[in-house]
Amino acid sequence: MPTYDYFCEDCGHELEAFHSMNAEPLRDCPACGKPALKKKIGAGAGLLFKGSGFYQTDYRSESYQKSAKAEKGESKPKADASKKGSDSSKTTSSASSTP
């Protein structure tokens, strides 16, 4: 349910109220009792997306997720091996160019 901000035109009292979008707006001020409440116009709180479930890939089948994990697991050692190979090639090339 959304939060609405109200203010009283007579006494200046401000309040927040939680109610359905279909519900009638509040009219009576809780501070002075007069029917002078007006709804403020605001941007609202917005939407907060927390947790998983907001990307297309979050809804993939279990078999797809398993194969994707296996594929990631295989690719990581290859990347590490290529880095090690490039480091070792640098040391051997520098060692061979010095004599």
Burial (CB count within 10 angstroms: exposed 0-12, middle 13-18, buried 19+), residue 17: middle
Name the residue ranges covered by the structural domains of the chain. 3-39
pLDDT tens string 65-83: 788 888 887 765 554 555 5
- Classify each residue of 2-15 as buried b or exposed e, where b means 16 or more C-beta atoms within 10 Å of its C-beta: eebebebeeeeeee
Amino acid at 71: E
pLDDT of 30-54, one tens digit each?
A: 999 999 999 998 766 666 666 666 6
Torsions phi, psi for 7 (to 5 deg) = -140, 150
Q: Is the pTM of this model over 0.85?
A: no
